[in-house]
Chains A and B, each alone.
Chain A
Amino acid sequence: MSQTNWAYTDAVKEHFMNPKNILMDEENYQEDGKGVTGNVKCGDEMIVVIKVNKEKGIITDCKWKTFGCASAIASTSVLSEMVKGMKLEDAYNLSARDINKALGGLPEHKIHCSVLGDKALRLAINDYYLRNGMEDRVKKEEERVVCQCMNITDQEIEHAVLEGARTFNDLQEMTKVGTGCGECTEEVMQLLEAYQNKHFCEV
């Protein structure tokens, strides 16, 4: 039987079948930073660890593990390849959209799974800063501006979701996000879904 109707793209399938950079020897891995996110009770959990070239501020290695679905596996696999050789700041600013693009697109209801990897990566980068006396470089998750036009952060979007926003229109009404150039629309949609899942996962 052919597999032509696979719900995911070839890139997703390849990273799913042959995931790269899995953290096999967790006990003996000498990481410079570690990030853990998700909740097994909600059906997914992610650990990302990084090694850093301290002189250059570059990520030299990235490994991961997950209790997650095909999308989480594929997106973190591709992410772990992307960040090697990348500056810490650049890696920190990678968004779910960048990963989604590298994978050629994920089914809409699966995008929330793909944010686990980059979230854990940001936590790992912050962890590296903390371990190396660079508290000043630690970025709080909520400080990331998503909508440049209206200067809306992801924390504000999260708040709006907690206040009942369920659609992009709800978010626009409540925060004015994406009412400028509209460039952030896709990422806001991903955040909307991610926050809904984070806060309203029925267990």
Chain B
Amino acid sequence: MSIRAIYMDNNATTPLHPEVNKEMVEVMDVFGNPSSLHTFGRQARQLVEQAREKVAAFIGAMSEEIMFAGSGSEANNTILSALTCQRKQCHYHVQGAYEVITTTIEHPCVLETSKCLQEQGVTVLYLDVDEHGKVNIDQLRDLITESTGLVSVMMANNEIGTIQDVKAIAKIVHERGSLFHTDAVQAVGKIPVNVQELDVDFLTLSAHKIYGPKGIAALYVKKGAPFCPLIRGGHQERGRRAGTENTLGIIGLGKAIEMRAQEMESDAEHLLELKGALRRGIEENIPDVQFVGHPTDCLPNTLNVTFDGAEGEAIVLYLDLEGIAVSTGSACASGSLDPSHVILATGLSAECAHSSIRISLGRENTMEEVEYVIDTLPRVIGKIRDMSTVYRRRRR
């Protein structure tokens, strides 16, 4: 019997799209420095700028508003770290607007940077979320003041898939004259995102979540928006991010985006169908389960489910032995003993947070794979619950 390999952890990372793979192999020998004036440099420059145009067009931006970065984490760090800039000409310094508002369910790269800002004297306020993971917009209205320099709210959550009403949030933020950043790493390429329509000032997207290569991301910086570089020492990216461009990665990102433009809509339909079948299959075959995340405003590929009395890491490892790859919470949290901060923020108990797994589907998943998961899960959960100290006790 051949061991299966079913990958359902696409919010952690995705396999390369075959077209991206092909494109990157084709340009593998393009080694010129895009800043060089000679033929080699100009060839690389042309490819980089073509990729920039694709990324810009896909989110409704202008090319000059797209800056490439090494990762989504770097892009998010860039935006947040600007708040502590003490240069006289820096926007935040001029405005004296040092406060930051973010949420309790952001990615650790935002939360950790926020903590760091707090240690440097910046006031950071955290918006709560409801049971579905939706940000409390009334609370934002209450907390935002003229001292608020930046509001950062993720567009779609990596663990539970909940999509925020970014447009409404941006409107409130701009009414108070503040700036708005959204970490859209999980959103761009999965749901339609248009920076003009949403009216955001900064937006982060990443290649490896959308079938592109790792180590490359992009940051949208609205024309005229204040900006403070994190990495200095070069004129690259219009002086916004020093360092020789990751030409190959940038071309890969451009191709990945091009493919999303072509396939996003049909993929979303396919993913929603698979997710619906998966959800029904779990509900019908396994008792005492609870789905986390917004019932409708949710990424089409993300399903977070808690299995009462079954410990999450054990579930993940038993499924792995059955050839199914899923995760507990976020990949970044693996190895950590703490329950998911996102699940806790939705008001569920620590025990629930320890009993949840995230299934994140991708374009390559099939209905047959979903059926195999539905066939396998009840046995795995049953086995873990049989040895659970809490499950049968509660069922008595």
Contacts and interface: CB of A to CB of B under 8 A. Distances in A.
A32 interface: no
Contacts of B390: 40, 45, 67
Contacts of A31: none
Nearest to A41: B350
A26 B385 CA distance: 13
Interface string A81-116: 000000000000000000000000000010010000
B350 A203 contact: yes
Contacts of B3: 1-3
A46 B321 contact: no
Interface range on chain B (Cβ under 8 Å from partner): 20 to 34
Contact of B337 (A13, A23, A201): A201
B335 A22 contact: no
B229 interface: no
A67 B311 contact: yes
B112 interface: no
B273 interface: no
Contacts of A201: 337-338
Interface string A172-203: 00000000000000000000000001000111
B317 interface: yes
A5 to B, nearest CB: 11
Contacts of A42: 337, 350
Contact of B354 (A3, A24, A43): A43
B95 interface: no
Contact of B311 (A44, A47, A64): A44
Contacts of A24: 386
B177 interface: no
B32 interface: no
Nearest to B317: A70
Interface in A51-87: 64-70, 73
B314 A73 contact: yes
Contacts, number: 77
Contacts of A66: 311, 387-389
A16 interface: yes
B389 A43 contact: no
A17 interface: yes
Contacts of B321: 3, 13, 17
B350 A65 contact: no
B389 A1 contact: no
Contacts of B386: 22, 24
Contacts of A73: 314, 387
A22 B311 contact: no
Interface in A118-174: none
Query: Looking at B3, B4, B313, which has the most chain A CB atoms within 10 Å of its CB?
Result: B313
B309 interface: yes
Contact of A43 (B5, B311, B391, B393): B311
Nearest to B392: A26
Contacts of B70: none
A139 to B, nearest CB: 24
A1 B5 contact: yes
B351 interface: yes
A1 B350 contact: no
A131 B326 CA distance: 46
Nearest to B338: A202
A19 B387 contact: yes
B339 interface: yes
Interface string A23-49: 110100000000010001111111100
Nearest to B325: A1
B360 to A, nearest CB: 19
A73 B386 CA distance: 12
B112 to A, nearest CB: 15
Given A1-B4, A47-B389, A69-B311, 13 more contacts: A3-B320, A16-B317, A19-B387, A22-B386, A24-B386, A40-B390, A44-B311, A45-B390, A64-B387, A65-B389, A67-B388, A67-B391, A69-B313
15 contacts: A1-B4, A1-B5, A17-B318, A26-B392, A41-B349, A41-B351, A42-B337, A43-B339, A47-B389, A66-B311, A66-B389, A67-B391, A201-B337, A202-B338, A203-B339
- 6 closest A-B pairs (Cβ-Cβ)? A1-B5, A69-B313, A43-B354, A22-B387, A41-B350, A45-B389
